[in-house]
Structure 1
């Protein structure tokens, strides 16, 4: 189903002096080419810390300021147009314009927003989500994947009466549940057991030692922000077995991997967790999150029951997001479309691996389906790797192709054969080393 991190060979040795010179030249060219983005950041710094309100968007020497987009292309304030291979960090699966979603939003707005009670929209979206995910008997809505994960973990801790949350190094479950690089100082202060990803022995040992204290295992079927590292099927199956044996809940964070099939990565893997969290594109382009699971777990949120768990939120069921989500599922997020997108991503990743090997470029690529990450591979030092990836990022941007500074790519439905062919041809020109 997935390919491991592939190391290209033969690899051309990286000359440190040439890399330093190429990196410096690329930075200077970027600054000269983007005065409008630099000015936009200066203005933003007056009212936003560092001119930023979303840390993942920051990149040196300054990020682009994007003023618009259509289909799979975006345009910055200096007038440059890029093929967008980042797809809003996996959320922008529809591309940057959709008359269908625009009409759904306009129709919902015309029928009334902030309707102060239950609406038909939330039931329709809930029915669709429960029908497609094997693990969802019931579902509740939130406003982000972060919030959905917080609620799912909190539910697991309260229902089981246990405190420990098993997570994995490199995992990202939102701004308050981040476990890359030693964790985040703003994480929610739960009792975490942070284990190596894809390490069955470590998970087995943790459960053997502390199984009666573990409330849940929170895991991504593929580490997203951690570098697009797919979970080995036997590892994920082992987590399923360990959680069941010890009375803990297995929570799949499918905020990113829900696109891997109509039923997400869990359907592709044939593994059914106790709870699932989703978000991003199921809101049809609006802020969205949801958590769902077995009826006996989720019914603790039934407000008609004595002692039920509270879960408020003014915009949990806002009519605009609910209507856009229903339209997005019915129009775009079909089994056929998602399977085709998955296959397109698998093909691109294989092509990238072959290209890096043929050209001797010091990079490798990992991922699942249409989400992938390019990794620098100098074999010398972390600093050289950092400059290599920055050089690749800046060079491809100058050639009209946009992806995250950390190497992340997420294809949208709008990306076609011509865009992929153009990207591979641009990469084939090398990076000036």
Structure 2
């Protein structure tokens, strides 16, 4: 809960929010005794019972035991519509038959073969065909790895040291930048931090770094920070300024690559020098990739004298290669991408319309099938615009939606998956409307719902 009752929105009677949150927490505890027991057991061996920080929340995280389509079941037998989609990696749902068949088939031919396989070249072909800026590609095991390798490659290619990143950016567990500073576990590169969507400030910083700047690393839409799209003019400026200074432009499309067949860069018609990928492209398996201009990527060609090393036992593991080929060639086709993101745009518009009608001071942000819910009436242009949002309100919304059978991220992230249809979207909107009275009361807002 926020330590400052006046943080965020001015709530006339903060005790109402506190009471609602106490009620929601206790209801959560009462409904989930098995998850509580399992969390206690896990805490004996894992710090806080956790090995993935983003999944932790108070009073304890749910334990899920199964998933099918767009639905999850927890250890206490409750079922949820999954609007989180594994933080964008689960775009295919939990039981896509095409991907399942591909994985089972790969397992039948042997696991961990310790050599090249035919599917890695096929997946590379599919990736390069989708993203014209990617002339050569290499695989890894996560978006974190992909971004780490892209940074190292940019420094080696340019023979420069500095990397410009943006406040609020998340490029993986070792590349996290929030509140004007990096995480204490970040890798020790020389980072220059600029304001996201800050056109003039960023342009000035790039020019100041000059010959010392190796690359600008940017998410075309900041995901972890709250689904905040980069202004097209701002992103175009990054392209022109990096070209002028001889530095590289790296698009982190680990999340935004789902927004179109060729990612956000296709929508913007911006060609970065390097692109990093991850999440869904591996068909739901552990996956990362980085690629771009052939003259840059060929530094990793092991047949060349002095080539850069890039090892990784599972870079070309047969399960990911098989799932990725099936995913890109048969399931997440350009047509499927267009339909899913149109559904997301429609849901975002419906949510913002609902907030206006019910008088809730909330806003839904994002692009396509990626949505951020925020307890503020104003559309944010940067992470700084969300700093005043009271975390107590976010927690209340999260716990109430769990009680109603809706699962999303505690921070408000929604990532639609292919199995979500009209029925699930309508259910979600009905739940949000039904809860609006409770949330308005908790916020001390007296508003008559529009008919």
What band does the TM-score fall into relative to the shorter chain?
Answer: over 0.9
Residues 276, 292 of structure 1: 8 Å contact kept: yes
Matched, 1:359 2:326: no
SS of residue matched to 2:200: helix
Structure 1 residue 205 displacement after superposition: 0.9
SS of residue matched to 1:202: helix
Per-residue displacement from partner, 1:79-114 (whole Å, max 9, x unpaired)? 100001000000000001122111111111112222
Consecutive unaligned residues in structure 1, runs of 5 or more: 1-10
Alignment of 1:154-233 (within 5 A): 154-181=152-179, 182-233=181-232
Consecutive unaligned residues in structure 2, runs of 5 or more: 1-8, 379-385, 442-451
Structure 1 residue 384 displacement after superposition: 7.2
Measure the CA separation in 2 of the matches of 1:339 and 1:50. Answer: 40
Measure the CA separation in 2 of the matches of 1:142 and 1:197. Answer: 27
Equivalent position of 1:146 in the other structure: 144
Measure the CA separation in 2 of the matches of 1:116 and 1:401. Answer: 42
Matched, 1:377 2:376: yes
Alignment of 1:332-347 (within 5 A): 332-347=331-346
Measure the CA separation in 2 of the matches of 1:112 and 1:278. Answer: 27
Per-residue displacement from partner, 1:13-46 (whole Å, max 9, x unpaired)? 6631211111111111111111111111100001
Alignment of 1:215-254 (within 5 A): 215-254=214-253
Matched, 1:424 2:429: yes
**CA 1:417/1:128 → structure 2, altered by over 3 Å: closer, same or farther?**
same
Residues 207, 245 of structure 2: 8 Å contact kept: no
SS of residue matched to 2:390: helix
Equivalent position of 1:38 in the other structure: 36
Equivalent position of 1:106 in the other structure: 104
> Structure 1 residues 96-105 or 83-92, which shifts more?
96-105
> Structure 1 residues 148-157 or 110-119, which shifts more?
110-119
Per-residue displacement from partner, 1:192-251 (whole Å, max 9, x unpaired)? 011100011111111221111000000000000011000000000000001100000000
Equivalent position of 1:59 in the other structure: 57
> Structure 1 residues 109-118 or 42-51, which shifts more?
109-118
Equivalent position of 2:420 in the other structure: 415
Equivalent position of 1:272 in the other structure: 271
Structure 1 residue 362 displacement after superposition: 2.3
Matched, 1:397 2:396: no
Measure the CA separation in 2 of the matches of 1:267 and 1:364. Answer: 27
Measure the CA separation in 2 of the matches of 1:60 and 1:376. Answer: 19
Measure the CA separation in 1 of the matches of 2:10 and 2:140. Answer: 49
Measure the CA separation in 2 of the matches of 1:232 and 1:378. Answer: 20
Equivalent position of 1:7 in the other structure: none
Measure the CA separation in 1 of the matches of 2:389 and 2:263. Answer: 37
**TM-score under structure 2 length normalisation:** 0.91
Alignment of 1:287-306 (within 5 A): 287-306=286-305
Residues 378, 385 of structure 1: 8 Å contact kept: no
**CA 1:382/1:230 → structure 2, altered by over 3 Å: closer, same or farther?**
closer
Aligned residues: 422
Residues 256, 263 of structure 2: 8 Å contact kept: yes
Residues 207, 241 of structure 2: 8 Å contact kept: no
Kindly report the root-mean-square deviation, in angstroms, between the aligned alpha carbons of the 2 structures: 1.5
Equivalent position of 1:387 in the other structure: 392
> Structure 1 residues 411-420 or 13-22, which shifts more?
13-22
Structure 1 residue 365 displacement after superposition: 1.4
SS of residue matched to 1:429: helix
Deviating beyond 4 angstroms after TM superposition, the runs of 4 or more aligned structure 1 residues are 11-14, 381-384
**CA 1:384/1:168 → structure 2, altered by over 3 Å: closer, same or farther?**
closer
Equivalent position of 1:8 in the other structure: none
**TM-score under structure 1 length normalisation:** 0.95
Equivalent position of 2:132 in the other structure: 134
Matched, 1:26 2:24: yes
Structure 1 residue 378 displacement after superposition: 8.0
Measure the CA separation in 1 of the matches of 2:245 and 2:129. Answer: 28
Structure 1 residue 377 displacement after superposition: 2.3
SS of residue matched to 1:126: helix
Measure the CA separation in 2 of the matches of 1:279 and 1:195. Answer: 24
